């Protein structure tokens, strides 16, 4: 409270170092301390992540391949990579597939996750704990193990899914499942990819929603009941508004995570050589490491496009974070 007695200008001057006692040296040291403390992190982040971002943009504007990697001068080629990418039909197919697959994953994850979160909240203690533990198992499975087990479940010859589909009556599921290959065609591979990813991500949403539901004060529900609101109206007028910030955050995180899917597709499609089933991250990898000769410039151009898209979503994420006071 004594602070209010100070004039704004002097308070402003002293911002940052509470103690103005001590000599100049102490004060300078105190002012420098935070910078010294963030310095190691800053150096590592600049060298390992910020600089490659610059490098990526630079390479996307140059002819950059194996010879340049080995030390040849890279030649500026303007926006040639971008024009050839943006007029390439293959890029647009992959782009469209990436968006569609990503949206399907996000929507299914959010829907299933929210419903299961509500279910967890409704179930009595023991059942909720048991189901929660089950969800945890799916969530904790390493991404690569998850992809591998789905590849096994849908295996052409001995996979459980094909065996079951083959055993079911033909009038129900059709025939020809005994040797059905799910992994060659985008139309069957992408659904499996979506299941694999949703399987691993809906637990996080469910448990977040449960935590969110539990954080809503009971008085609000009581008040709604007093006002004669039924369950449906209570849900829309109390629960949904209270959970809106959480949903915004979950939605953004899921979009960003699902946009980046690489490992699962790598395993399910058995590497990156099947050109029919690529998504953006796999396409970038193909251009950089699985084509002869590697085209780092073109790969970088696509990487820039992908980064811009992700950062656009991140801008929205930042707004949410700033509103929540995470930046203060």
Partner 1 sequence: MNNVYRLRKIAGSVGMYAAAAAVFVFAVFPVYWVLATALRPTGEIFTREPTVLPREITFEHFERVISGVLIPGTSFWSFLTNSLVVTIGSVAFAALVSLFAAVAVARFRFRLRSAFIIMLLVIQMVPIEALIISLFVNFFHLGNTLDMELVNNLSGVFVVYVAVMLPITILMVRNFVAAVPKELEEAAAIDGANGWTVFWRILMPLVAPGLAASSIFAFITAWNEFLVAFTFLQNNSGAYTLPISLQYYFGAVSIEWGSIMAASTLLTVPVMVFFLLVQRRMVSGLTMGAVKG
What six digits make up the tokens of 259? 């946009």
The residue among 1 and 49 lying less far from partner 1, judged by its C-beta, is: 49
Beta carbon of residue 110, minimum distance to partner 1 (angstroms, whole number): 14
The residue among 1 and 137 lying less far from partner 1, judged by its C-beta, is: 137
Beta carbon of residue 10, minimum distance to partner 1 (angstroms, whole number): 16
Q: Residue 284 CA to chain centroid, in angstroms? A: 17
Q: Please, what sign has the CA dihedral across residues 321, 322, 325, 328?
A: positive
The residue among 229 and 318 lying less far from partner 1, judged by its C-beta, is: 318
Beta carbon of residue 39, minimum distance to partner 1 (angstroms, whole number): 8
Beta carbon of residue 163, minimum distance to partner 1 (angstroms, whole number): 6
The residue among 139 and 180 lying less far from partner 1, judged by its C-beta, is: 139
The residue among 213 and 224 lying less far from partner 1, judged by its C-beta, is: 213
Q: How many CB atoms lie within 10 A of CB 255?
A: 21
The residue among 224 and 267 lying less far from partner 1, judged by its C-beta, is: 267
Beta carbon of residue 38, minimum distance to partner 1 (angstroms, whole number): 5
What is the Cα–Cα distance from 266 to 273, expressed in whole angstroms?
Answer: 9
What is the Cα–Cα distance from 100 to 133, expressed in whole angstroms?
Answer: 31
- Of the candidates 116, 134, 135, the residue with the CA atom closest to the CA atom of residue 210: 116
Beta carbon of residue 27, minimum distance to partner 1 (angstroms, whole number): 13
Give the Å distances, CA to CA, from 62 to 89, 285, 296, 312: 22, 18, 9, 25
Q: At what angle do helices 143-153 and 186-215 cross, to 10 degrees?
A: 130
Give the Å distances, CA to CA, from 194 to 80, 98, 173, 206: 34, 11, 21, 17
């Amino acid at each position: 409270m004594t602070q209010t007695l100070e004039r704004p200008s002097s308070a402003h001057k002293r911002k940052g170092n509470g103690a103005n006692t001590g000599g100049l040296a102490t004060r300078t040291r105190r002012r420098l301390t935070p910078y010294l403390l963030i310095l190691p992190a800053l150096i590592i982040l600049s060298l390992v992540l910020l600089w490659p971002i610059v490098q990526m943009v630079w390479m996307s504007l140059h002819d950059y391949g194996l010879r340049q990697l080995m030390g040849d001068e890279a030649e500026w080629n303007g926006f040639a990579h971008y024009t050839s990418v943006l007029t390439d039909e293959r890029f647009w197919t992959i782009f469209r597939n990436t968006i569609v697959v990503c949206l399907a994953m996000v929507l299914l994850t959010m829907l299933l996750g929210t419903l299961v979160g509500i279910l967890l909240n409704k179930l009595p203690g023991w059942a909720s704990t048991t189901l929660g533990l089950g969800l945890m198992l799916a969530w904790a499975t390493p991404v690569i193990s998850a992809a591998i087990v789905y590849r096994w479940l849908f295996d052409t010859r001995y996979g459980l899914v094909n065996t079951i589909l083959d055993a079911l009556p033909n009038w129900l599921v059709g025939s020809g499942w005994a040797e059905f290959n799910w992994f060659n065609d985008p139309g069957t591979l992408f659904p499996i990819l979506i299941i694999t990813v949703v399987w691993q991500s809906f637990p996080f949403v469910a448990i977040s929603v449960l935590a969110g539901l539990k954080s809503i004060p009971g008085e609000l529900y009581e008040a709604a009941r007093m006002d004669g609101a039924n369950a449906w109206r209570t849900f829309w007028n109390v629960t949904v508004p209270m959970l809106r910030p959480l949903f915004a955050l979950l939605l953004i995180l899921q979009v960003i995570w699902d946009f980046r899917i690489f490992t699962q597709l790598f395993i399910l499609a058995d590497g990156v050589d099947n050109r029919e089933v690529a998504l953006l991250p796999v396409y970038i990898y193909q251009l950089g490491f699985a084509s002869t000769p590697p085209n780092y410039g073109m790969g970088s151009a696509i990487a820039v496009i992908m980064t811009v898209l992700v950062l656009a979503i991140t801008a929205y994420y930042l707004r949410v974070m700033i509103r929540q006071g995470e930046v203060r």
